[in-house]
Amino acid sequence: MIKFSFKKETSSLLGAIYRPIAEVSFQNKQTGIFMPVAMIVDTGADYTLLPKFLSSTLGISLAKDCRKLQTAGVGGNQTVFFCKKKITVKLGNWQRKIPFGFLDTDFIPPLLGRHQFLETFKTIFNKHKIIFDLP
């Protein structure tokens, strides 16, 4: 079982809000080194999305390693660079190979999505904590 506390932030609309943030490590394609990324746990995201600037940090070429597509969500239509190959990620001691993409902007937080990741855990939101456990 792995637990994370929500992060308290300030919203101009809502005042103090708490966001479910988890630290997930992504494996660099070229070096094999894992890099931690603080991510919003987003049960509404079909798959994991990262800001564009992380592509170079993870050794991924948007032109060679990804296919460009359009997606629609709450924020409207966006360009996504969806990676052709899955990436290895770690949550605590657990490892998964997951599908993921990069949004064509640096101004979104990393979003931890459901497909082949959140749906593989028992995920509980309770009293400003998020708990991951194997089912």
User: What is the number of other CB atoms lying within 10 angstroms of the CB of residue 133?
Assistant: 12
pLDDT tens, the chain, 135 aa long: 999 999 999 999 999 999 999 999 999 999 999 999 999 999 999 999 999 999 999 999 999 999 999 887 666 788 999 999 999 999 999 999 999 999 999 998 999 999 999 999 999 999 999 999 987
126 CA to centre of own chain: 20
pTM greater than the 0.75 cutoff: yes
CATH 3.40.190.290 fits 2-133, yes or no: no
